Structure 1
């Protein structure tokens, strides 16, 4: 890097107050460094974006991964520069997807390293890598435009207005040619929506919204016809070249048109490198080892046939690939001594007396000056000549890359006045401008908690509404309410009808418990896949999603039970508005608690059949010990009654109905002892004692609220600590 002389004439506080564009102007790429010249100047800025991200050079060397003691990758290396498209090819099971997982930081390496702009892959880099999975994971009921709009509102920073974020969405839709299908739902195997090619482009569009510098795509052409695959790769090629992106794609067997689009090829065979280099040279590589490509034959088909051949042929190709590492045109970044010769620590320095010899006449910092283990230290004074008294002193270190062809100063670091302090970390320096460290030193969520909560609440509501309030659910609820009302129509308040009144209460609580519980259980597995994908990309906090899901789906959860109650209870016999509303409150509370239990079980069990079995056992036990089907429970089983959420809601409905409603008249042949003493109406306590009730209204309500809180917290704990995406 060439460093402006003005940089050394500023104090540290003055430099930090400079605008970012002026900081960038002080440190610019060296004109005589071919590695830096090969990178595009800057990515095209999306509408409304603050500043385009700097281009990234991806270097990975000696990657080795073992799964269950079986080697999947062995000594795989490669380098991709901005504007280039690297294709990773090989037969099925050769380790293509594992390689992408290594490059994105999702798989732990047994050996080797990955560097982005000479910096080790770290957690903050993982958040900035665009990784397009092979599976197209979306919410099926949202349209393409809605999907992109929600992604933009979540992943683009709060510094952009809503209109600017929508401009970014329009830009991506136009770039990927999705205008014609932007109002079509995503769809799934049950609902017809986007085609396979459109889903692939939609998957890529969601990741492109953040304008990443590095894109990793796993089998983007799988399942597409030749024309759709060619159109998709042409979009990626154009995007990489025009906007200076670094793109890595895995492909299985591309057409000749697609194959010649790639800049570089990494061919894998049994987890090892069979070829790495320019696509235009792969034919010569195979010709040199005696494998001649037939004219007018697709080179991709030919080389895949060779790496699928005999073990002797595979070893021959791998050996030739290893010999190619000793050729002069092999990338220097992949040589073992390239990074080991670069200086990365300045320690125990001694400041020399400042003089003009530290700055060359042309204003650029050269190799002269005091070197501290290869790093050049110099002292600058703000606003004063070198011979005047300094008012502020700043110490700076320029790290020189001695392993490159041309020695350049790659990093500028300012330190305080305390001597002996390390100026650079062993694994964390980067050959970028000073201003890049201002943006990359730590990871920050792109949006605030409130923005994430608001957007996710809206999305959860919009996504769940077609599923929870479908036409079939409406018909089922209305029909069930009418049937229940007709079955228990205008029951007289007599002891003979007491069992029927209790039957309506128990049926209502158990039915909506099962409806909400299994509804949450069946909807969570597909939603979990979307959430895991978005969490891996760093789109939002888990706490924001969890709270938004509770709030966003709450109106939908209580709508159908409320409609059922509105239809059936007046047909049963409307006595008091207060009783009607109180019973509705306990019915809805029981429904929400049941949904919480279903969400917890769904989050805990990865297997749907296991979760259904556990849910069936729990809900059936809840009904058996609810207090209606069985009242004479053995003492050694009575404790299970306290684990039944239906028990508390059912008892509360009885307390309200028989205390505040019309009293129940005693029968001639009564079974209540209180009626034998001349009392005309059955005491409320006698009815409750017959059902085995033991807690007052407030205690039952408190237990239901505790159930709600406990299962919601347990669901969050499971997602946060036990079901974290890897």
Structure 2
């Protein structure tokens, strides 16, 4: 690889006052208008789908929170990149380079006044996502996967079904070798509880997972962040080679590259305060600055010099005046005028992909791939389920020993009821522990959805299915420990009915977590809202205030949509409909005192149905309650899907 890079590295061409050819054609002499020649002189296969990406007079505005007025954060940016070229977006913090990158990639959060054209024509968002990949500044990876697995699953989700597994594995191996990750091939990315690869290695994995999909356009947001000078050069050099070999369009925002890294870029755009200071080949920057009387001192990194020149965050009035001079010099330059003319004269070219719309029904192979990945994550990630298993087992032991071997004496009726409520309500409440695991999965989905890999339906279906066995296992383990210690109704049918209600309870609680976290994907906010919702369900569920005594508003507004209410009454019926309890004898009178009136009172016994009547519960409606629980779960999941579909980030 290093030998190949040496052969590809070219001397900087000389600069002339008439620089149209240098500025606006491919700078690498091996990249021709009809294609590009390989190092051996042969003509490799071309990517005929995407030839040019352009934008003209791109302006982005956002609403200023202080003044409530629209404020420009990017002003009249224009440019284009041909296949085989790699463009650098440079500028100080807040200059607009990330905004420009996001807008070109169709990820803008502000209001854009310009269209981004692919092959000279406007394309749908679905087409943009189909042809491009985006590497964000923050590394979004699944920490419980290894380096090789991360690339493997990325290839399975993105590559056409015609690509064999052997071919996909070969691509993965090539990227692992090229990015210097051979020794980390089988190392975990890393989780909060398990150490993995370094930050710089994560950055390389993030870039590699997008390159394995073989996009036509690759967007990179600070791809060298966290890398040392040598690693930065190696990564960008490899990306440059891939761009030339595969005819990719690469656009990267980059903060302060070394001289060697800077020379790898075909084109450079320098921004400051949302305005363009320069747009042209990297080798044309030094003579351009000389032409406007701001020459680069000898033995100085051009990128470092120009960034200091346009960074006025700490500048004085003289520096601000100099920056205005740079803006005006670019606006009046022949290079800027010619750039505008060339962009305006671009003619539409066919795109063999055609336009595609975002969304679509989930494909079975996508769901199976996501299920496979989620299953690996679920059994490796301690936070997702195993910590919850330990928590629930601890709760079961605590409950079983606190409510140890309750008898059928009437004095234990209320403890039985308390145990039913506490077990179901607290099990539901502890589902908040799933929030961080879901948010990690969701962050991965947001990245992969933005790159056009799959939609929210495939993500949420896989998420739902992979959780079923774990939730059932938790329900069964909790019941095995607590049910018999407490001495609930000792029959096999009653035991498995209790397990069923607990499973539906956990499934509804986790569905609520998915719904709230999809609507508000922030850990603290989601945790607070879910905790509040659980408090509400406990209050109106029928235990703290029996349904007959519950305020009419709360009963009709919330009780009938409270899944905990159906779990509580289902468990109550399961325990009390077929059980009798002994009344307390009255000392010396040969009589007894019964807390509940029932037909068995003359036998000094209480029928369990009398307890149910006190709470307003009927028997024989268990099937209806199960149906309502399933409906609530489905509604929660569908609402989670709708919020996920509506949110683009």
TM (norm. structure 1) is 0.75
Aligned to 2:263: 260
Indicate the RMSD between aligned Cα atoms, in angstroms: 3.0
Is residue 635 of structure 2 the alignment partner of residue 697 of structure 1?
Answer: no
Aligned-pair CA distance for 1:704 = 1.7
The CA deviation string for residues 421-472 of structure 1, in whole angstroms up to 9 with x for no partner, is xxxxxxxx41x6xxx63x4354698996111111112222322332456654
Structure 2 match to 1:272: 275
Deviation readout 1:251-308 (Å, 9 max, x if unpaired): 1111222122222211112222211222222111111222222111111121122223
C-alpha displacement of 1:191 = 3.9
User: Could you tell me how far 1:581 is from its partner in structure 2?
Assistant: 0.9
Tell whether 2:465 aligns with 1:551: yes
- Aligned to 1:273, the other structure's residue is in SS state strand
Matched, 1:708 2:633: yes
How far the C-alpha of 1:185 sits from its partner, in A, is 1.8
Pairwise CA distance, 1:177: 2.5
Alpha-carbon shift at residue 698 of structure 1 (Å): 2.6
| 1:479 and 2:394 are equivalent in the alignment | yes
> Structure 1 residues 299, 496: CA separation in 2 closer, same or farther (over 3 Å shift)?
same
Deviation at 1:175, TM superposition (A): 2.8
Aligned to 2:13: none
- Relative distance call for 1:552 and 1:322 in structure 2 (3 A) is same
- Give distance in 2, aligned partners of 1:484 and 1:561: 14
User: Does the CA-based 8 Å contact 1:446-1:539 persist in structure 2?
Assistant: no
1:663 aligns with 2:580: yes
Match for residue 234 of structure 1 among 226, 230, 237: 237
TM-superposed deviation, 1:42: 8.6
In structure 1, the residue corresponding to 2:196 is in which secondary structure?
coil
Q: Does 1:633 align with 2:549?
A: yes
- Measure the CA separation in 2 of the matches of 1:79 and 1:174: 32
**Equivalents in 2 of 1:515, 1:42: separation in Å?**
60
Matched, 1:171 2:174: yes
Checking the alignment, whether the CA contact within 8 Å between 1:155 and 1:446 is kept in structure 2 is no
SS at match of 1:674: coil
| Change in CA separation of 1:288 and 1:271 when aligned onto 2, cut-off 3 Å | same
> Which segment drifts farther, 110-119 or 585-594?
110-119
CA displacement at 1:211 relative to structure 2:
0.9
Q: Provide the rounded CA distance (Å) in 2 between the counterparts of 1:443 and 1:611.
A: 31
| Partner of residue 620 from structure 1, selected from 535, 541, 552 | 535
User: Which is higher, the Rg of structure 1 or of structure 2?
Assistant: 1
User: Is this contact kept in 1: 2:62–2:111, CA < 8 A?
Assistant: no
- The match for 1:652 is 570
Give 1:96 shift. Answer: 0.3
Change (3 A) 1:597 1:96: same
SS at match of 2:219: strand
Partner of 2:18: none
Deviations 1:378-421 (A, max 9, x none): xxxxxxxxxxxxxxxxxxxxxxxxxxxxxxxxxxxxxxxxxxxx
Within 5 Å, give how 1:552-591 maps onto structure 2: 552-573=466-487, 575-591=490-506
User: Which one of the candidate residues 304, 307, 320 is aligned to 1:304?
Assistant: 307
Give the alignment partner of residue 493 of structure 1, picking from 386, 394, 408.
408
Partner of 1:404: none
Contact 2:154–2:213 (8 Å) recurs in 1: no
Distance 1:629 1:269, change over 3 A: closer
Cα distance change, pair 479–460 in 1 and its aligned pair in 2 (3 A): same
Displacement of 1:586: 1.0
Give distance in 1, aligned partners of 2:148 and 2:31.
40
Which residue matches 2:426? 511
**Worse-matched range after superposition: 65-74 or 467-476:** 467-476
Distance 2:372 2:114 in 1: 44
3-state secondary structure, aligned to 2:603 = coil
Kept after mapping to 2: 8 A contact 1:457/1:549: yes
State whether structure 2 residue 294 is matched by structure 1 residue 291. Answer: yes
1:75 is aligned to 76
Q: Is residue 37 from structure 1 mapped to residue 39 from structure 2 by the alignment? A: no
- Give the corresponding residue for 1:66: 61
Distance 1:110 1:474 in 2: 49
**Contact 2:219–2:251 (8 Å) recurs in 1:** yes
The 5-angstrom pairing of residues 129-168 of structure 1 reads 129-168=132-171
Equivalent residue number for residue 520 of structure 2: 605
Question: Is the CA contact 1:154–1:447 (under 8 Å) kept in the aligned structure 2?
Answer: no
Shift of 1:113: 4.1
- CA distance 1:504–1:440, shift in 2 (3 Å): same
- Structure 1: distance between partners of 2:140 and 2:79: 29
| Length, aligned pairs only | 590
- Which one is further off, 614-623 or 581-590? 614-623
1:724 aligned to 2:640? no
CA distance in 2, matches of 1:161, 1:665: 71
User: Which residue number corresponds to residue 116 of structure 2?
Assistant: 114
Shift in Å, 1:563: 0.5
CA distance in 2, matches of 1:265, 1:241: 17
Once the two structures are superposed, residues 4-40 of structure 1 have per-residue CA deviations (whole angstroms, 9 ceiling, x without a partner) of xxxxxxxxxxxxxxxxxxxxxxxxxxxxxx9953632
Q: Is the 8 A contact 1:293 1:302 kept in 2?
A: yes
The yes-or-no answer on 1:323 pairing with 2:318 is no
Deviation of residue 604 (structure 1)?
Answer: 1.9
Deviation at 1:534, TM superposition (A): 1.2
Distance 1:120 1:483, change over 3 A: closer
**SS at 1:540 equivalent:** coil
Residues 178-207 of structure 1: CA deviation (Å, up to 9, x unaligned) = 222122222255542221221111111121
Q: Give distance in 2, aligned partners of 1:522 and 1:707.
A: 23
**What CA distance in whole angstroms lies between the structure 2 residues aligned with 1:487 and 1:591?**
22
The structure with the greater share of residues assigned to helix is: 2
Q: CA deviation at 1:313?
A: 1.2
Do 2:84 and 2:244's aligned partners in 1 also have CA atoms closer than 8 Å? Answer: yes
2:602 aligns with 678
In structure 2, stretches of 5+ residues that fail to align are 1-29, 64-69, 313-318, 586-592
SS at match of 2:277: strand
**CA distance in structure 2 between the aligned counterparts of 1:291 and 1:676, rounded to whole angstroms:** 102
Go from structure 1 to structure 2 and tell me whether the alpha carbon gap of 1:103 and 1:140 turns closer, same or farther (over 3 Å shift).
same
3-state SS of paired residue (2:57):
strand
SS at match of 1:127: helix
Alignment-derived partner of residue 52 in structure 2: 57
1:102 aligns with 2:103: yes
Ranges in structure 1 where 5+ consecutive residues have no aligned partner: 1-33, 45-49, 343-428
